[in-house]
Amino acid sequence: MILTITMNPSIDSIYFTKHFELGTMTRFASPVRYVGGKGINCGRASALLGSSVILTGFLGGYFGGMIQDMLQNENLFDLHFLPIAEESRGAVTIMHDGETQTELVEAGPEIADTTIKKLMNDIKQISTNNYLSVITINGSVNNQDPFLYAKLLQYIKEQIDPSIYILMDISGQHLREVLASKYKPMFIKPNIHEFSDIIHQKITKKSDIKYHLKTNPLFKDIDVIMISCGSYGAVVKVKEEFWNVEIPKIPVINTTGSGDATVGGFAHSLEQNYPLKECVRYAMACGMSNAQQSEVGKVIPADVKNLAKSIKITEMK
């Protein structure tokens, strides 16, 4: 079973228009409206692929109630969200001018340290009642503690089960502190821009990604590091090997949630005991499948299988 942790769920509204210009009025057709939040999108992809998935995190206010109801209507998951007093957030994505994407994202409710401790206890209870093979920790949290995710990782390793695969899709200072901590996740997936932020240097070439993964001590002791590069595929470090992942050009409808679907695909294939190279291939195919849907975090299993056949993975020397 897979548990995904989303501390900052949202109601995502996606608008489509041929052209969008700041400072003018633009009329849109009705948006596609879905529940978002990186862990929820990740869990949705895993569930659509056939995994049993539990979602946890925080929900509050009117939007929180909407999120709970909409997820129940999807009938894909077990829901274990903790209620909070503050309002859950909203986000708007505008797809325009070809494949250009503009996002307006609320910071979300501030989560107190005491509330985080309640979540940790809840995760422990969930693990007592269910066999968890994979836990994914995804996305942002509105909390002032930069060590929050490092502490959560430590709690899972020390208080729950050190053998559970921990996948982390986080960024910024929270990711830096995880990389510098005693305990490491099994998998991380920063994109090339987030990777550049971590090393404080703009990266544009795959060869440069490999160099920094190989030489920077921050990236030691993590089994799988996937640096996604959009339409250029990815660079993946698997223990001491480096792989170049090339993907074919496909028609794109909406890229929102593609990274989340990639993590969901990796979690599912890991749970199914695929070899790591096939986990990477399958995960990338899930990201591509999501990009061909208007919904967020949605994958089509048959499409994933077909797309996986067209993905090329070669060793980087």
Query: What does each of the 317 residues of the chain score in pLDDT, given as a tens digit?
Result: 999 999 999 998 889 899 999 899 988 888 888 898 999 999 999 999 999 999 999 999 999 999 999 999 999 999 999 999 999 999 998 989 887 889 999 999 999 999 999 999 999 999 999 999 999 999 999 999 999 999 999 999 999 999 999 999 999 999 999 999 999 999 999 999 999 999 999 999 999 999 999 999 999 999 999 999 999 999 999 999 999 999 999 999 888 899 999 999 999 999 999 999 999 999 999 999 999 998 889 999 999 999 999 999 999 98
pTM: 0.92
Q: Of 108, 35, 59, 37, which is closest to residue 260 (Cα–Cα)?
A: 37
Q: Of 223, 236, 147, which is closest to residue 187 (Cα–Cα)?
A: 223
CA 135 to chain centre: 12
Over residues 169-226, the pLDDT tens digits come to 999 999 999 999 999 999 999 999 999 999 999 999 999 999 999 999 999 999 999 9
Contacts of 191 (CB under 8 A, 6+ apart): 227, 228, 229, 230, 259
Identify the DSSP state of 131. Answer: -
Bin 210: left if φ > 0, else alpha if -120 < ψ < 50, else beta: alpha
- Residue 18's Cβ-count burial label (10 Å; 0-12, 13-18, 19+) is exposed
Would you list the domain boundaries of the chain?
2-315
What does the buried/exposed string (b/e) look like for 133-153 if buried means 16 or more CB atoms within 10 Å of the residue's CB?
Answer: bbbbbbbbbebeeeebbbbbb
Q: Which fold has domain 2-315?
A: UDP-N-acetylmuramoyl-L-alanine:D-glutamate ligase (3.40.1190)
